[in-house]
Structure 1
Amino acid sequence: MSNRAVLEVIALDAEDAVAAQTGGADRLELVTDIAADGLTPSRETFGRIRAAVDIPLRVMLRLTDGFTAGSPQDVENLVEAAAGLRAEGADEFVLGYLDASGNPDLVTVERILVEISGCAWTFHRAIDRAKDRDALRTRLADVPGLDTYLTAGSPTGVDAGLPTLLAEVARAGEPGYEAQILVGGGLRLDHVSVLLSAGIEGFHIGGAARPDGWTGPVSASAVREWRSVLDA
C-alpha cells in the first residue's frame, strides 16, 4: 500500500464495510448518524464490522454535532466511549476538538489519548474550522499517534480549499506538517489528478461511494471506480 494512494471510505455497518473492501478501499472510517456529520458508533457495530472485514478501521470519537467536545459530561462520555471501543479491539481512531475560540482543545485530546495510548489517529475536519490552521498544526506537532489530517482545506469543501491543500502538501516534512493529508469533504473524481500531481496520497469518500445517497449502501463498483482512478 505504501506505493499507492490510500482510499478511505466511510462505513456505517458491516454491509458498507464489505462493499468498500470489495471495491478496493484501504481503510474504513466508522461512524453513525451521518446527519450530524458522523458520530461514534456503538461497540457492537464496531465488533460486527471488525468481524466482517480485515482492512484497517478508524473509529470516530465524536458524540455531539459541531466541532467542540461539548459539556464536561459530554467529555466524560467521550472518554468512556474511547475506553469501551479500545476494549473491543479498536486500534485506530478519528478525533479532533476545538474550543469556543477555534483553537485546538488539547485538554480533551489529551484525555482521550490516555484511553487510546499507542493507537494511530486522524485529526478530522475540525482543522477546517480552526481559527489558525498553521497554529493548530504547530500545537499538535508532538502529540503522540497523530499521523493524518482529514481536511478539505476549507469549511465549504475541496473546491474552495484546493489552494490551501496544495500549499500544505508543499510543506510536507516541516514541523506540524509530517502527518499525511487525507483529502475529504466535497471531493470529486475530477479533483484527483491535481491532488495526486501535488503529492497528496490520501483520499476519503462518503457520499461518493453511495450512488443512492446516504439512505443507500456503499457500492463496491463506485469504490472500484475511485480505486481505478487513483491507481491509473
Structure 2
Amino acid sequence: MKIEICVDSIQSALAAQNGGASRIELCDNLIGGGTTPSAGMIELARKYLTIDINVMIRPRSGDFCYSPLEIEVMKKDIEIAKRYGVKGIVIGVLKPNGEIDVNIMKELIELSRPLTVTFHRAFDMTKNPFKSLDILIDLGVERILTSGKESKAMQGIDLIRELVKRAEDKIIIMPGSGVSEENVRFIIDSTGAGEIHLSAKKRIESIMEYRNDRVDMGGSLIVSEYDNYFTCEESVRNITKILNNIK
C-alpha cells in the first residue's frame, strides 16, 4: 500500500516523510487545488527528502483547458522539474467539450519521460470516465488520481471501485479528496485501490502579532490571511499504521 501526501511547503514535505509516506505530490497553492511549485521548492525538496517526489505541473487554478501560452509554460516547468531528478510528473489537460486533449497529453508525456506520469483530478472533470480511462491507458499514463467524479472520494466510492476493476494491472487508480484517518480504511476496503492520496493537513495559527484585518491579499475572505495549513506528521503516521494492517 502506497501513501501519497500532497504538500505545498518543505515543512509539510518533511512531515509527510517523517510520518511514513511513500511519496509526496509537490505543489504550490493547495488552497486553490494545487499549482506548479517553484524551482526553489523542487530543489529543496530533493535536498531534504529521500522518498519519491512527484511534481504538479499546473500553471493556474481553475479549469484544465489551457491556452497555447499556458501549455508552453507547462512544458518549460516539466523540463525544470526533470533537471532536479524527481520521480514523476502530475498533469492533466482537457478540451472544452470535457474530453482529454490527447494531442497535448502526448506532447507532455513524451517530454516527461523517463519520469512517471500521473493524470490528476482533471479526470473528475471529464465527460466519460471509462472512455477517459481507456485513453489514459493507451497513452501509457501510470496513474490516475480521482475522487470518482464527486467532490470527495467517499461520495465517489462506487465509480472508483469500478475504475479499479476495469484498470486491472494496466494503470493505477489512486483515490483522493477528503481522505482522513476516519475513512481511509473504508475507502481502501471498498475500492480495492493499492494507493491513496491525501493532504493530512492541520491548521496552524500565524505567528503574526500585528494584523490588519481590513486587507486580504488573496482577493477572498474565505480563508484568513492568518490561517496556515501544514501536513500533520502524526496524522500521516496514524494512517500509515492503519494501512499497514491491511492484508
Structure 2 length-normalised TM? 0.84
2:191 paired with 1:194: no
- Aligned counterpart, 2:111: 115
- Aligned counterpart, 2:215: none
2:219 paired with 1:224: no
- Aligned counterpart, 1:140: 136
One of 87, 91, 97 as aligned partner of 1:91 = 87
Q: Distance in 1 between matches of 2:73 and 2:80?
A: 10
Any conservation in 2 of the 1:79–1:112 contact (CA below 8 Å)? yes
Greater mean deviation of Cα atoms: 69-78 or 191-200: 191-200
Structure 2 counterparts to residues 177-192 of structure 1, below 5 A: 178-192=170-184
Structure 2 counterparts to residues 98-177 of structure 1, below 5 A: 98-144=94-140, 146-173=141-168
2:16 paired with 1:20: yes
- Aligned counterpart, 2:219: none
- Aligned counterpart, 1:57: 53
Greater mean deviation of Cα atoms: 25-34 or 146-155: 146-155
Shift of 1:140: 2.0
Matched to 1:62, the amino acid is: R
Shift of 1:69: 4.1
Q: 1:68 to 1:211 in 2, by over 3 A?
A: closer
Shift of 1:220: 1.0
Any conservation in 1 of the 2:52–2:86 contact (CA below 8 Å)? no
What percentage of aligned pairs have identical amino acids? 25
Q: Distance in 2 between matches of 1:8 and 1:227?
A: 11
Q: Distance in 1 between matches of 2:111 and 2:237?
A: 35
Matched to 1:188, the amino acid is: S
Shift of 1:93: 0.9
- Number of equivalent positions: 222
Helix, strand or coil for the counterpart of 1:171? helix
Helix, strand or coil for the counterpart of 1:217? strand
Shift of 1:231: 1.3
Any conservation in 2 of the 1:69–1:108 contact (CA below 8 Å)? no
Shift of 1:102: 0.4
Any conservation in 1 of the 2:154–2:187 contact (CA below 8 Å)? no
> Structure 1 segments of 4 or more deviating over 6 A?
none
Shift of 1:164: 0.6
Q: 1:222 to 1:192 in 2, by over 3 A?
A: closer
Matched to 1:221, the amino acid is: E
Shift of 1:111: 1.9
Structure 1 residues 2-43: Cα deviation after superposition (integer angstroms, max 9, x where no partner): xxx111101212211111111010000000012320000111
Q: Distance in 2 between matches of 1:14 and 1:70?
A: 28
Matched to 1:156, the amino acid is: S
Helix, strand or coil for the counterpart of 1:64? coil
